[in-house]
Amino acid sequence: MPLLRRIAHTPDRPLGGADVAVVVAHPDDETLGCGGLLGRLSGGRLIVVTDGAPREGADASRCGFSDPGAYGTCRRAELIRALAVARVPASALILLDVPDQGVCHRMAEIARALARLFAIHGIRSVFTHAFEGGHPDHDGIAFCVRLAADLPGSSIVEIIEMPLYHLGEAGICVQRFCDGDHGVVIDLKPGERMRKRRMLACHATQTDTLRPFSVRQERFRAAPDYCFAALPNRGRCLYGGHDWGLSPADWPACVGAARRAFERLAA
Protein backbone atom coordinates (compact mmCIF):
# COMPACT_ATOMS: atom_id res chain seq x y z
CA MET A 1 0.00 0.00 0.00
CA PRO A 2 1.41 3.45 -0.88
CA LEU A 3 2.65 5.39 2.11
CA LEU A 4 0.20 8.27 1.63
CA ARG A 5 -2.71 5.83 1.72
CA ARG A 6 -1.38 4.24 4.90
CA ILE A 7 -1.10 7.70 6.47
CA ALA A 8 -4.72 8.41 5.57
CA HIS A 9 -6.23 5.08 6.60
CA THR A 10 -4.09 4.00 9.57
CA PRO A 11 -3.54 7.25 11.51
CA ASP A 12 -2.81 5.43 14.77
CA ARG A 13 -0.24 2.91 13.60
CA PRO A 14 3.54 3.04 13.18
CA LEU A 15 4.49 3.47 9.54
CA GLY A 16 7.91 1.87 9.40
CA GLY A 17 10.04 4.13 7.29
CA ALA A 18 13.35 2.50 6.33
CA ASP A 19 12.70 3.47 2.70
CA VAL A 20 11.39 6.97 3.49
CA ALA A 21 13.19 10.32 3.34
CA VAL A 22 12.00 13.72 4.50
CA VAL A 23 13.75 16.40 2.42
CA VAL A 24 13.42 20.00 3.58
CA ALA A 25 15.16 23.29 2.98
CA HIS A 26 15.75 24.62 6.49
CA PRO A 27 16.06 23.48 10.10
CA ASP A 28 12.49 23.78 11.48
CA ASP A 29 10.76 22.91 8.18
CA GLU A 30 10.70 19.27 9.27
CA THR A 31 8.79 20.17 12.43
CA LEU A 32 6.35 22.49 10.67
CA GLY A 33 5.58 20.07 7.87
CA CYS A 34 5.54 16.68 9.56
CA GLY A 35 6.67 16.96 13.18
CA GLY A 36 3.70 14.91 14.35
CA LEU A 37 4.23 12.25 11.69
CA LEU A 38 7.94 11.86 12.47
CA GLY A 39 7.02 10.00 15.64
CA ARG A 40 5.36 7.29 13.52
CA LEU A 41 8.29 6.82 11.16
CA SER A 42 11.35 4.76 12.02
CA GLY A 43 14.54 3.98 10.18
CA GLY A 44 14.23 6.66 7.50
CA ARG A 45 16.35 9.68 6.69
CA LEU A 46 15.89 13.39 7.26
CA ILE A 47 17.79 15.46 4.70
CA VAL A 48 18.09 19.15 5.56
CA VAL A 49 19.57 21.01 2.63
CA THR A 50 20.56 24.41 4.04
CA ASP A 51 22.23 25.46 7.26
CA GLY A 52 19.49 27.98 8.07
CA ALA A 53 21.93 30.90 8.06
CA PRO A 54 21.65 33.44 5.22
CA ARG A 55 25.10 34.77 4.35
CA GLU A 56 24.11 38.45 4.23
CA GLY A 57 24.10 38.33 8.04
CA ALA A 58 20.95 40.26 8.96
CA ASP A 59 19.19 37.21 10.44
CA ALA A 60 22.30 36.25 12.42
CA SER A 61 22.63 39.77 13.81
CA ARG A 62 18.95 40.00 14.68
CA CYS A 63 19.26 36.78 16.70
CA GLY A 64 22.35 38.03 18.53
CA PHE A 65 25.08 36.18 16.63
CA SER A 66 28.31 37.73 15.45
CA ASP A 67 28.30 36.00 12.08
CA PRO A 68 26.30 33.52 9.95
CA GLY A 69 28.61 30.66 10.91
CA ALA A 70 27.73 30.93 14.59
CA TYR A 71 24.06 31.30 13.72
CA GLY A 72 24.17 28.17 11.55
CA THR A 73 25.83 26.20 14.35
CA CYS A 74 23.03 27.22 16.70
CA ARG A 75 20.35 26.27 14.20
CA ARG A 76 21.93 22.84 13.76
CA ALA A 77 21.87 22.32 17.54
CA GLU A 78 18.22 23.40 17.65
CA LEU A 79 17.40 20.87 14.94
CA ILE A 80 19.11 18.02 16.78
CA ARG A 81 17.23 18.90 19.98
CA ALA A 82 13.92 18.94 18.11
CA LEU A 83 14.63 15.54 16.58
CA ALA A 84 15.46 14.14 20.01
CA VAL A 85 11.98 15.18 21.16
CA ALA A 86 10.55 13.15 18.25
CA ARG A 87 12.91 10.26 19.09
CA VAL A 88 14.61 10.57 15.73
CA PRO A 89 18.27 9.59 16.18
CA ALA A 90 20.97 12.00 15.06
CA SER A 91 22.24 9.21 12.80
CA ALA A 92 19.11 9.66 10.65
CA LEU A 93 20.04 13.27 9.89
CA ILE A 94 21.88 14.24 6.70
CA LEU A 95 22.98 17.87 6.37
CA LEU A 96 23.98 19.27 2.99
CA ASP A 97 25.02 22.67 4.42
CA VAL A 98 23.99 24.77 1.44
CA PRO A 99 23.73 28.44 2.47
CA ASP A 100 20.21 29.52 3.41
CA GLN A 101 18.65 31.48 0.52
CA GLY A 102 21.13 29.83 -1.84
CA VAL A 103 19.20 26.78 -3.04
CA CYS A 104 18.00 28.18 -6.35
CA HIS A 105 21.53 28.88 -7.52
CA ARG A 106 22.71 25.31 -6.81
CA MET A 107 19.73 23.17 -7.81
CA ALA A 108 21.56 20.84 -10.21
CA GLU A 109 24.19 20.07 -7.57
CA ILE A 110 21.53 19.52 -4.90
CA ALA A 111 19.41 17.29 -7.15
CA ARG A 112 22.43 15.16 -7.96
CA ALA A 113 23.29 14.83 -4.26
CA LEU A 114 19.71 13.80 -3.51
CA ALA A 115 19.73 11.21 -6.30
CA ARG A 116 22.87 9.66 -4.81
CA LEU A 117 21.40 9.62 -1.31
CA PHE A 118 18.13 8.10 -2.50
CA ALA A 119 20.05 5.32 -4.24
CA ILE A 120 22.43 4.66 -1.33
CA HIS A 121 19.63 4.41 1.22
CA GLY A 122 17.04 2.66 -0.96
CA ILE A 123 14.54 5.49 -0.64
CA ARG A 124 11.15 4.92 -2.27
CA SER A 125 8.93 7.58 -0.66
CA VAL A 126 9.90 11.23 -0.15
CA PHE A 127 8.20 13.94 1.90
CA THR A 128 9.09 17.42 0.74
CA HIS A 129 7.86 20.96 0.20
CA ALA A 130 4.84 21.94 -1.83
CA PHE A 131 5.59 24.15 -4.83
CA GLU A 132 3.71 27.20 -3.57
CA GLY A 133 5.72 30.40 -3.99
CA GLY A 134 6.31 30.91 -0.28
CA HIS A 135 10.10 30.76 0.01
CA PRO A 136 12.43 30.25 -2.97
CA ASP A 137 14.42 27.61 -1.08
CA HIS A 138 11.23 25.60 -0.53
CA ASP A 139 10.28 25.76 -4.21
CA GLY A 140 13.85 24.93 -5.16
CA ILE A 141 13.84 21.78 -3.04
CA ALA A 142 10.50 20.68 -4.51
CA PHE A 143 12.10 20.96 -7.95
CA CYS A 144 15.32 19.20 -6.89
CA VAL A 145 13.39 16.24 -5.48
CA ARG A 146 11.45 15.92 -8.73
CA LEU A 147 14.64 16.06 -10.81
CA ALA A 148 16.23 13.35 -8.68
CA ALA A 149 13.10 11.19 -8.73
CA ASP A 150 12.78 11.41 -12.52
CA LEU A 151 16.34 10.24 -13.12
CA PRO A 152 16.31 6.93 -15.06
CA GLY A 153 16.69 4.05 -12.64
CA SER A 154 15.50 6.06 -9.65
CA SER A 155 13.97 4.07 -6.80
CA ILE A 156 11.45 6.82 -5.97
CA VAL A 157 7.84 5.76 -6.44
CA GLU A 158 6.07 8.42 -4.36
CA ILE A 159 6.62 12.12 -3.65
CA ILE A 160 4.42 13.41 -0.85
CA GLU A 161 4.27 17.15 -0.41
CA MET A 162 3.43 19.25 2.62
CA PRO A 163 2.42 22.92 2.55
CA LEU A 164 4.08 25.52 4.76
CA TYR A 165 3.07 29.01 3.62
CA HIS A 166 2.08 30.97 0.55
CA LEU A 167 0.57 34.31 -0.42
CA GLY A 168 -3.21 34.08 -0.27
CA GLU A 169 -5.91 36.55 -1.24
CA ALA A 170 -5.82 38.19 2.19
CA GLY A 171 -2.15 37.80 3.06
CA ILE A 172 0.01 34.93 4.23
CA CYS A 173 -1.78 31.56 4.37
CA VAL A 174 -0.13 28.76 6.36
CA GLN A 175 -0.47 24.99 6.24
CA ARG A 176 -2.86 24.99 3.26
CA PHE A 177 -2.29 24.03 -0.35
CA CYS A 178 -2.33 27.12 -2.52
CA ASP A 179 -4.75 25.62 -5.07
CA GLY A 180 -7.39 24.97 -2.40
CA ASP A 181 -7.00 21.18 -2.38
CA HIS A 182 -7.56 19.79 1.11
CA GLY A 183 -5.17 16.87 0.68
CA VAL A 184 -4.94 14.24 3.40
CA VAL A 185 -5.54 15.98 6.72
CA ILE A 186 -4.21 14.32 9.87
CA ASP A 187 -5.68 15.51 13.16
CA LEU A 188 -2.89 15.17 15.69
CA LYS A 189 -3.72 13.62 19.03
CA PRO A 190 -3.08 15.53 22.26
CA GLY A 191 0.23 13.76 22.86
CA GLU A 192 1.36 14.41 19.29
CA ARG A 193 0.39 18.07 19.60
CA MET A 194 2.38 18.38 22.79
CA ARG A 195 5.39 16.74 21.16
CA LYS A 196 5.17 19.02 18.14
CA ARG A 197 4.85 22.06 20.41
CA ARG A 198 8.01 20.96 22.23
CA MET A 199 9.80 20.46 18.91
CA LEU A 200 8.86 23.95 17.79
CA ALA A 201 10.13 25.35 21.08
CA CYS A 202 13.53 23.80 20.36
CA HIS A 203 13.86 26.12 17.36
CA ALA A 204 14.15 29.07 19.73
CA THR A 205 15.79 31.45 17.25
CA GLN A 206 12.69 31.13 15.04
CA THR A 207 10.03 31.82 17.67
CA ASP A 208 8.50 34.83 15.91
CA THR A 209 8.48 33.12 12.52
CA LEU A 210 6.84 29.96 13.88
CA ARG A 211 4.12 31.66 15.90
CA PRO A 212 1.39 31.55 13.18
CA PHE A 213 1.64 27.77 12.74
CA SER A 214 -0.80 25.35 14.35
CA VAL A 215 0.05 22.04 16.00
CA ARG A 216 -3.47 20.67 15.54
CA GLN A 217 -3.19 19.23 12.02
CA GLU A 218 -0.75 18.17 9.34
CA ARG A 219 -1.61 18.05 5.67
CA PHE A 220 -0.17 15.95 2.84
CA ARG A 221 -0.87 14.96 -0.75
CA ALA A 222 0.78 13.28 -3.71
CA ALA A 223 2.87 15.93 -5.44
CA PRO A 224 1.27 16.98 -8.74
CA ASP A 225 3.23 16.88 -11.97
CA TYR A 226 4.12 20.56 -11.83
CA CYS A 227 5.39 22.70 -14.67
CA PHE A 228 8.31 24.02 -12.65
CA ALA A 229 9.30 26.43 -15.43
CA ALA A 230 6.24 28.54 -14.53
CA LEU A 231 5.70 30.35 -11.25
CA PRO A 232 3.36 28.62 -8.78
CA ASN A 233 0.24 30.02 -7.14
CA ARG A 234 -0.84 31.87 -10.32
CA GLY A 235 2.33 33.91 -10.15
CA ARG A 236 1.73 35.20 -6.63
CA CYS A 237 5.00 34.67 -4.78
CA LEU A 238 5.37 35.75 -1.18
CA TYR A 239 9.11 36.02 -1.59
CA GLY A 240 8.61 38.75 -4.20
CA GLY A 241 8.13 41.13 -1.30
CA HIS A 242 11.25 39.99 0.57
CA ASP A 243 14.98 39.84 -0.02
CA TRP A 244 15.23 36.05 0.27
CA GLY A 245 17.87 35.37 -2.36
CA LEU A 246 15.75 35.28 -5.53
CA SER A 247 13.30 37.43 -7.44
CA PRO A 248 10.25 35.60 -8.84
CA ALA A 249 11.19 36.96 -12.27
CA ASP A 250 14.43 34.96 -12.07
CA TRP A 251 12.81 31.63 -11.16
CA PRO A 252 12.14 30.32 -14.72
CA ALA A 253 15.73 30.96 -15.81
CA CYS A 254 17.08 29.22 -12.70
CA VAL A 255 14.94 26.17 -13.43
CA GLY A 256 16.06 26.02 -17.05
CA ALA A 257 19.73 26.37 -16.15
CA ALA A 258 19.45 23.75 -13.40
CA ARG A 259 17.71 21.27 -15.66
CA ARG A 260 20.40 21.60 -18.33
CA ALA A 261 23.21 21.31 -15.78
CA PHE A 262 21.58 18.29 -14.14
CA GLU A 263 21.26 16.54 -17.49
CA ARG A 264 24.97 17.11 -18.11
CA LEU A 265 25.83 15.74 -14.66
CA ALA A 266 23.61 12.71 -15.20
CA ALA A 267 24.98 11.93 -18.68
Domain boundaries defined on the chain: 3-7+15-266
Superfamily classification of domain 3-7+15-266: LmbE-like (3.40.50.10320)
State pTM to two decimals. 0.97
How would you write the pLDDT of the chain (267 residues) with one tens digit per residue?
789 999 988 877 888 889 999 999 999 999 999 999 998 898 999 999 999 999 999 999 999 999 999 999 999 999 999 999 999 999 999 999 999 999 999 999 999 999 999 999 999 999 999 999 999 999 999 999 999 999 999 999 999 999 999 999 999 999 999 999 999 999 999 999 999 999 999 999 999 999 999 999 999 999 999 999 999 999 999 999 999 999 999 999 999 999 999 999 877
DSSP characters for the chain?
--HHHHHHH-TTS--B-TTEEEEESSTTHHHHHHHHHHTTB-S-EEEEEE-S--TTSHHHHHTT-SSHHHHHHHHHHHHHHHHHHTT--GGGEEEEEEPTT-GGGSHHHHHHHHHHHHHHHT--EEEEE---SS-HHHHHHHHHHHHHHTSTT----EEEEE--EEEETTEEEESS-TT----EEEE--HHHHHHHHHHHHH-GGGHHHHTT--SSEEEEEEPP---TTS-SGGG--GGGGS-SS--GGGHHHHHHHHHHHHHHHH-
